[in-house]
Amino acid sequence: MSKRIKEEFGLENEELAVKEYICLNQDFMSATYPLLADEVIARLNLRQGFILDLGTGLGSLAREFAKRLAKAKVFGIDISEEMLTKAKEFAKNENLANIEFILQDAGKLNFPENYFDLVVSYGVLHHLKDLKGMFSQLKRVLKKERYAFLYDLRPDSPKEVIFEIAQKLPSLQSKAFLESVKESLSPDYFDSILKELGFSEYVFSTPHFNRATIVKNKAVLEKSRMLGRRFNEIILEISLKN
């Protein structure tokens, strides 16, 4: 993933690419994570357990789950040491003791079978070279009758929405965003992998937030430059049950 991030920003230096990603994350994407965490927790009535964030990056989504679920243990994995260093710094600053960040490949997870109560990811799938391997590992480590919620860009996004978002971003971040859109994968592609691996219960949709989630995050929504129905049109949600 670190190589792909450098390519998307058009930078050779990973440290510089990570700095640009931090700006993109904090200025435009940060409001997404609390809403997703609240929505997933509400849907599953989740109170505790083991949670895995695949390709955690700066740990943005993982940290939101850790903040909300004091009795849970959250793991964030990534193959970028630069990203994980920053993720650990953010978690320490937020006094989160129930979260752990590990240098690990999503296609070679070093966790026991049937270990996690929930698996999540955001904006990662198009970075992975071995999606079949990742989903195979997900199936292995996710407990039976438990869920995964995976989010990424969708290739059939309305062009006017893509253009609208790209126009709001600084040049390097706009380039990275457009590169990500170009690399995004279709639901049909995911469908073929999931069927091959024996998944039978999964749904492709756009993110939906219930009224309670919206009210709870009203201040976040008012400050956000990216959220709203227009932004949701470019996001693919894969919800699956093991």
pLDDT band at 27 (very low <50, low <70, confident <90, very high): low
Q: Phi and psi at residue 153, in whole multiples of 5°?
A: -70, 155
2-241 homologous superfamily: Vaccinia Virus protein VP39 (3.40.50.150)
What is the mean predicted confidence (pLDDT) over 86-98?
Answer: 96
Structure token digits, residue 241: 């049950």
Alpha-carbon distance of 242 to 148, in angstroms, equals 8
Start-to-end CA distance of the chain, whole Å, equals 26
Alpha-carbon distance of 119 to 14, in angstroms, equals 27
pLDDT above 70 coverage of the chain, percent: 86
Whether 242 contacts 44, CB under 8 Å: no
What is the mean predicted confidence (pLDDT) over 190-194?
Answer: 97
Q: Where are the alpha helices (DSSP H) in the chain?
A: 2-9, 14-24, 32-44, 60-68, 81-93, 131-141, 159-168, 171-183, 187-196, 211-216, 218-223, 229-232
Residue 145 pLDDT greater than 80, yes or no: yes
pLDDT tens digits, 153-189: 999 888 888 888 888 887 777 887 888 888 899 999 9
Average predicted confidence (pLDDT) for the chain: 87
Tell me the pTM: 0.89
Which residue did the predictor score with more confidence, 76 or 158?
76
pLDDT of residue 137: 98
**31-40, 77-86, 176-185, 228-237: least confident range:** 228-237
Residue 239 pLDDT greater than 80, yes or no: yes
pLDDT band at 3 (very low <50, low <70, confident <90, very high): very low
pLDDT of residue 7: 47
Alpha-carbon distance of 184 to 221, in angstroms, equals 26
Alpha-carbon distance of 239 to 206, in angstroms, equals 10
Q: Which amino acid is at 86?
A: K
Residue 228 pLDDT greater than 90, yes or no: no
Residue 75 pLDDT greater than 70, yes or no: yes
Domain coordinates in residue numbering, the chain: 2-241
Residue 118 pLDDT greater than 50, yes or no: yes
